Amino acid sequence: MSKVFDIFMAGIISGIVAYTTTQLGVGGTVIGAVLGSILYQMMSHFLKEPLGKFQTQKIESGMVYVLPLLLIVGIEIIYLMVPIHSKSEQIFYFLEGATDWNLFRFIGIGLIVMGIYPILQSEFIKKQYGYFLSALGIVVLLRGFLDWDSPLISIYSKIYVQFDSFISLMIIFVLSYVIISILNEALILIRRNNAKDTNNEKSENKNKNQDIDEE
């Protein structure tokens, strides 16, 4: 039943990503991945919980949660490389054009949404990661409005222009920290489960040997 659930959710997530990509371009891929990740975790919490153990759910939720974050890290690295690498510049402006120059706005909104989920429901993803992502989402979203002509934006635009590379490095660092932390937690749970299974097998074998000796 668990495998059927995973296949079913994979189909839904693929459909969401395909639809948002069709409607919004490449930036829709980010939005679709974020929505798919959140949907998977919500459905897993309400439907799959009776079907599997808590630790298994936490591992799966963590794996799904980091996928859109990896995509965003890749985009930030491309953006950081724009001034020194012509190929990165071409890729970045292709992404911007495909999203109708809304790439950072989509990413910012996506990060905020991904941050809100663990803040409200921290069963599988730690609440502190939600605060990190929400803060980063606001930073990226503000960057996305730099091309707007507004007195409010002009107040902080100079900071972004002067420290843009530093801001990108900060975003990459924090996202990498969250990704590595979540994957590390999942790896620890996997090792614990494996160790527990090994101990259970040893215990069963020991009991069998004792039964044989008694006979």
Residue 1 has pLDDT above 50, yes or no: no
Give me the mean pLDDT over the 2-21 stretch: 52
Reported as a pLDDT band with limits 50, 70 and 90, residue 174 is very high
Task: Give the residue with greater pLDDT, 212 vs 60.
Answer: 60
Q: Number of helices and strands (H, E) in the chain?
A: 8, 0
Per-residue model confidence as pLDDT tens digits over 105-131: 989 998 998 899 889 887 778 899 999
In the numeric block, the tokens 């590595």 are attached to 180
pLDDT at 203 over 50: yes
Half-sphere exposure at residue 124, Cβ-oriented, CA atoms within 13 angstroms: 28
pLDDT score at 105? 92
Q: Which residues of 13-22 are buried (b: 16+ CB within 10 A; e: fewer)?
A: beebbeebbe
- The sign of the CA dihedral 68, 71, 76, 79 is negative
pLDDT, one tens digit per residue, over 39-90 is: 665 555 554 444 445 556 666 677 778 888 888 898 899 999 998 888 888 8
